[in-house]
């Protein structure tokens, strides 16, 4: 499938999609070794999409063995960066050509509006592959200063077999954040997508084969985190795990690495990011509009969602009113309506139950200033209104626990010092935003916020050229930019003694 014709709706197209839930191991689509499956259910309307292979430990063994054989065989790892670049650019072209299909798979799987998967997730995924493809043949290694009569070469080497374990909130895009630099550097990869959203990863694997990536260099092994994810994390022949997901699972990966072969870890974990609005903000309404985006975009299912809004007392009431007005832009609607730019469905009913419980605790202990209702659309109850909760006690868990849904809490502060203390008063350190026209304050506060990314007079800024990742229990390692290569390469020093 390439493009939509003007008289085809996304819903019709969804009905005609060829869905294939089989794993991709050693270049072949295949069932799980014991033929077990689990159902993929769309949160958009509760429709059963397809059964996905519930891969086993044997499948993990087969995928790792294939990845290792491909790496040692050198048909990818040793062909040189320029040759890898050409193949990865072909893959990016194929992804673009099949962009409508990939966008639809992500929307069907996890409920995000098609208007967003077509304009944000898929173009972002394609660009990620293009960027790393174009990067790798322009890097130079080092020849440092050494004593006369010697030369030392410092070269960046691929690690070998990389396992990528990914979440469901940006199914294709976060997978590409891992795969593009790992493959560009010459590694083989075993990708384990989230159970809720395996379809675009499996299709990507097929496109990789079509692009000419040799069999075994990219394997996609769907299944449970406990069996496939942990199987990879504990495997003695996996050299690195690149993970995005919850802090709880990230901590388990640290143990798995330590108890197996001390494999290298890149951990992009949870977040609870603050947005600080000072009373000298230039345009309060524009800041409120961006704050609503920061908290509610992608149904609030964003690791760096700015879900803790801290506002200075003098403008608090005016700001909350403006935020409530702009939150309406993120009202849930039919994700397959291309004209709907608001929110879609949450990933599933069970997750919506948890978000609803969080809202109820906010209703009991604070004041709901917008939203607060769970909705049923298309026969699915996975839709929740963007919800703003104010007047919670400072120690209330909603200020500190990641909800991963369309829920923002408001705290009011008086001084800069108090704002910094509130913002840093969490176990996470992924992102933070601040709004002020005072340049000195902008620098002073940004320098003291413990966060991997600080956005000034915008929210949650992100780009391919800049590293993304966290401090504290948001993890370590960085996605995006040249720095991501550190997750997938090791430095080798080769000394030469002249004759």
Q: CA-CA distances (angstroms) from residue 414 to 215, 319, 418, 459?
A: 60, 15, 7, 21
Q: Is 407 helix (H, G, I), strand (E, B) or coil?
A: strand
The rounded distance, in Å, linking the Cα atoms of 311 and 208 is 47
471, β-bridge pairs: 429
The rounded distance, in Å, linking the Cα atoms of 470 and 247 is 11
Residues of span 362-391 touching ligand NAP by CB under 6 A: none
188, β-bridge pairs: 161
Query: What's the closest the beta carbon of residue 279 comes to ligand NAP, in angstroms?
Result: 30
Closest to ligand NAP by CB, 94 vs 432, is: 432
CB 59 within 8 A of CB 223: yes
128 is a contact residue toward ligand NAP (CB under 6 A): no
CB 445 within 8 A of CB 417: no
Query: What's the closest the beta carbon of residue 41 comes to ligand NAP, in angstroms?
Result: 14
CB 241 within 8 A of CB 163: yes
167 is a contact residue toward ligand NAP (CB under 6 A): yes
Query: Among 46, 73, 123, 252, which residue sits at the site for ligand NAP (rule: CB under 6 A)?
Result: 252
* Number of other residues whose CB lies within 10 A of the CB of residue 78: 12
405 is a contact residue toward ligand NAP (CB under 6 A): no
Query: What's the closest the beta carbon of residue 198 comes to ligand NAP, in angstroms?
Result: 8
57 is a contact residue toward ligand NAP (CB under 6 A): no
Closest to ligand NAP by CB, 233 vs 316, is: 233
* Cβ neighbours of residue 43 closer than 8 Å, sequence gap 6 or more: 110, 111, 345, 346, 347, 348, 349, 380, 382
Query: Among 103, 208, 249, 352, which residue sits at the site for ligand NAP (rule: CB under 6 A)?
Result: 249
Query: What's the closest the beta carbon of residue 422 comes to ligand NAP, in angstroms?
Result: 20
Alpha helices, H only, 74-121:
81-97, 99-110, 114-116
**Site size for ligand NAP, by CB under 6 A?**
30
Closest to ligand NAP by CB, 249 vs 456, is: 249
Query: Among 168, 293, 296, 383, which residue sits at the site for ligand NAP (rule: CB under 6 A)?
Result: 168
Residues of span 255-274 touching ligand NAP by CB under 6 A: 268-271
The rounded distance, in Å, linking the Cα atoms of 132 and 464 is 9
Query: Among 233, 310, 336, 390, which residue sits at the site for ligand NAP (rule: CB under 6 A)?
Result: 233
The rounded distance, in Å, linking the Cα atoms of 280 and 228 is 51
Taking CB under 6 A as the binding criterion, the range among 56-64, 228-236, 258-266, 379-387 that sits at the site for ligand NAP is 228-236
* Number of other residues whose CB lies within 10 A of the CB of residue 442: 17
Query: Among 53, 194, 382, 389, which residue sits at the site for ligand NAP (rule: CB under 6 A)?
Result: 194
Distance of CA 238 to the CA centre of its chain: 22
Q: CA-CA distances (angstroms) from residue 156 to 100, 142, 462, 481?
A: 37, 9, 26, 16
Query: Among 303, 336, 420, 423, which residue sits at the site for ligand NAP (rule: CB under 6 A)?
Result: 303
Residues of span 409-448 touching ligand NAP by CB under 6 A: 430
165, β-bridge pairs: 192, 243
Taking CB under 6 A as the binding criterion, the range among 19-27, 75-83, 111-119, 241-249 that sits at the site for ligand NAP is 241-249
244 is a contact residue toward ligand NAP (CB under 6 A): yes
Taking CB under 6 A as the binding criterion, the range among 13-21, 25-33, 242-250, 368-376 that sits at the site for ligand NAP is 242-250
Residues of span 147-166 touching ligand NAP by CB under 6 A: 165-166
* Cβ neighbours of residue 39 closer than 8 Å, sequence gap 6 or more: 48, 49, 50, 51, 52
Residues labelled catalytic: 268, 303
Closest to ligand NAP by CB, 404 vs 488, is: 404
Query: Among 99, 113, 216, 225, which residue sits at the site for ligand NAP (rule: CB under 6 A)?
Result: 225
Taking CB under 6 A as the binding criterion, the range among 25-33, 240-248, 278-286, 322-330 that sits at the site for ligand NAP is 240-248
* Cβ neighbours of residue 164 closer than 8 Å, sequence gap 6 or more: 175, 178, 179, 182, 189, 190, 191, 192, 241, 242, 243
| Residues in the chain, total | 499
Query: What's the closest the beta carbon of residue 262 comes to ligand NAP, in angstroms?
Result: 17
Taking CB under 6 A as the binding criterion, the range among 50-58, 199-207, 226-234, 257-265 that sits at the site for ligand NAP is 226-234
CB 369 within 8 A of CB 410: yes
Q: Which of 109, 110, 102, 108 is nearest to 128 (CA)?
A: 102
- Residue reference for tokens 């994700």: 335
Query: What's the closest the beta carbon of residue 361 comes to ligand NAP, in angstroms?
Result: 19
205 is a contact residue toward ligand NAP (CB under 6 A): no
Query: Among 66, 169, 306, 489, which residue sits at the site for ligand NAP (rule: CB under 6 A)?
Result: 169
Query: Among 45, 121, 173, 402, which residue sits at the site for ligand NAP (rule: CB under 6 A)?
Result: 402
The rounded distance, in Å, linking the Cα atoms of 218 and 220 is 7
Query: What's the closest the beta carbon of residue 165 comes to ligand NAP, in angstroms?
Result: 5
* Number of other residues whose CB lies within 10 A of the CB of residue 140: 6
Taking CB under 6 A as the binding criterion, the range among 3-11, 53-61, 107-115, 222-230 that sits at the site for ligand NAP is 222-230
Provide the binding-site residues for ligand NAP, judged by CB under 6 A. 165-169, 174, 192, 194-195, 224-226, 229-230, 233, 244-246, 249, 252, 268-271, 303, 402, 404, 430, 470, 474
């Amino acid at each position: 499938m390439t493009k939509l014709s003007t008289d085809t709706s996304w819903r019709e197209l969804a009905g005609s999609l060829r869905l294939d839930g089989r794993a991709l191991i050693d270049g072949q689509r295949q069932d799980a070794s014991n033929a077990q499956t689990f159902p993929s259910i769309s949160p958009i309307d509760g429709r059963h999409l397809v059964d996905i292979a519930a891969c086993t430990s044997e499948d993990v063994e087969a995928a790792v063995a294939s990845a290792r054989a491909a790496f040692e065989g050198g048909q990818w790892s040793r062909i040189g960066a320029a040759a890898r670049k050409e193949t990865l650019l072909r893959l990016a072209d194929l992804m673009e050509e099949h962009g409508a299909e990939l966008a639809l798979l992500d929307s069907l799987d996890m409920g995000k509006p098609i208007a967003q998967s077509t304009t944000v997730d898929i173009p972002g995924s394609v660009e990620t592959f293009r960027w790393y493809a174009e990067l790798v043949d322009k890097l130079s290694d080092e020849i440092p200063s050494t004593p006369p009569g010697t030369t030392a070469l410092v070269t960046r080497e691929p690690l070998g077999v990389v396992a990528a374990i990914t979440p469901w909130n940006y199914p294709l895009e976060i997978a590409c954040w891992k795969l593009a630099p790992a493959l560009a550097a010459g590694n083989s990869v075993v990708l384990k997508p989230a159970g809720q959203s395996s379809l675009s990863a499996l299709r990507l694997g097929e496109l990789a084969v079509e692009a000419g990536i040799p069999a075994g260099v990219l394997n996609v092994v769907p299944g449970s985190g406990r069996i496939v994810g942990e199987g990879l994390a504990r495997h003695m022949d996996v050299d690195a795990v690149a993970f995005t997901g919850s802090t709880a699972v990230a901590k388990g990966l640290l143990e798995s690495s330590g108890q197996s072969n001390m494999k290298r870890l890149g951990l992009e974990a949870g977040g609870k990011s603050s947005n600080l609005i000072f009373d000298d903000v230039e345009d309060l309404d524009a800041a409120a509009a961006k704050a609503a985006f920061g908290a509610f975009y992608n149904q609030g299912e964003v690791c760096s969602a700015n879900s803790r809004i801290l506002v200075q007392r003098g403008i608090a009431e005016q700001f909350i009113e403006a935020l409530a007005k702009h939150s309406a832009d993120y009202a849930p609607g039919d994700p397959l309506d291309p004209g709907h730019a608001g929110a879609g469905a949450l990933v599933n009913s069970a997750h919506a139950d948890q978000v609803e419980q969080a809202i109820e605790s906010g209703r009991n202990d604070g004041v709901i200033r917008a939203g607060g209702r769970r909705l049923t659309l298309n026969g699915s109850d996975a839709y929740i209104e963007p919800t703003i909760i104010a007047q919670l006690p400072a120690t209330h868990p909603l200020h500190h626990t990641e909800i991963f849904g369309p829920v923002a809490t408001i705290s009011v502060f008086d001084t800069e010092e108090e704002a910094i203390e509130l913002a840093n008063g969490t176990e996470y350190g992924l992102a933070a935003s601040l709004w002020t026209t005072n340049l000195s304050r902008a620098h002073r506060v940004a320098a003291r916020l413990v966060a991997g990314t600080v956005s000034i007079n915008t929210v949650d800024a992100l780009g391919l050229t800049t590293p993304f990742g966290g401090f504290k229990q948001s993890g370590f390692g960085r996605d995006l930019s040249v720095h991501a290569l550190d997750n997938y390469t090791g430095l080798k020093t080769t000394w030469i003694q002249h004759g």
